[in-house]
Amino acid sequence: MSEPVIHVIDDDDSARHSLAFLIDCAGMKVRSYAAATEFLKAVPGIEPGCIVTDVRMPEMSGLQLIERLKARGVAHPVIVITGHADVPMAIEAMKQGVADFIEKPFSDDAILGAIRSALARADGRSQRDAEKAEVSSKMATLSQREREVLHGLVQGHANKVIAHDLDISPRTVEVYRANVMTKMAAGSLSELVRMVTIAELAG
């Protein structure tokens, strides 16, 4: 996985350069943008990472940017920088799913900590998404009957109960169960249940 990039958006030149310098000194890659509209133009090719944006900017505010990013399906975690008077706006941004908001003036540790936390959460989500995709791909190889047996297994039903529910013999259930375990590459029933749980997780 490529090194994440911190995308800093702020129309205040000195604030933007200062924050970009801080992030760079902390050993993280950083790109800066003077306006939300400038960042949006770069969106199709932006590197994975985290977005740090000011709330009050001309042309397009931080909240408007967040709405545009959501509409485009951009999943980068967003940290909002806000002045004291903008706290209600920042709270509204939190409701829209931003990772954090940092009130000015903030310490170096506060903003760097927020960035690292956002990256860690995003990385965990990426790993879960990859695992979910892998499990879903395995489930797609199951036949309809194998799916029915799988459903019975994850419900905790014994072979005889599954056989009764599907109107087939217990021996046939055993055959389907073995096929399911093989196709799903599950070493145990508990592992199989965990896989199905992952596949059914929303988001």
Q: What's residue 194's pLDDT? A: 73
The CATH code of domain 141-200 reads: 1.10.10.10
Name the residue type at position 15. A
Query: So where are the chain's domains?
Result: 5-129, 141-200
The residues, ordered by sequence, that sit 6+ positions from 48 with a Cβ below 8 Å of its Cβ are 1, 2, 4, 5, 76, 122, 126
Band (202; pLDDT cuts 50, 70, 90): very low
Band (83; pLDDT cuts 50, 70, 90): confident
The verdict on whether omega for the bond into residue 44 sits within 30 degrees of 0, i.e. cis, is: no
In the Cβ-directed half-sphere of 131, how many Cα atoms lie within 13 Å?
13
Residue 199 has pLDDT above 80, yes or no: no
pLDDT digits (tens, 9 = 90+) for 158-177: 899 999 999 999 999 999 99
pLDDT, the chain, mean: 85
Second-level CATH architecture of 5-129: 3-Layer(aba) Sandwich (3.40)
Q: Say what the pTM is.
A: 0.62
Q: Are 135 and 185 in contact (CB under 8 A)?
A: no
Say how far apart CA 70 and CA 124 lie, in whole Å.
20
Name the residue type at position 56. R
- Residue 186, classified by CB atoms within 10 Å of its CB into exposed (0-12), middle (13-18) or buried (19+), is buried
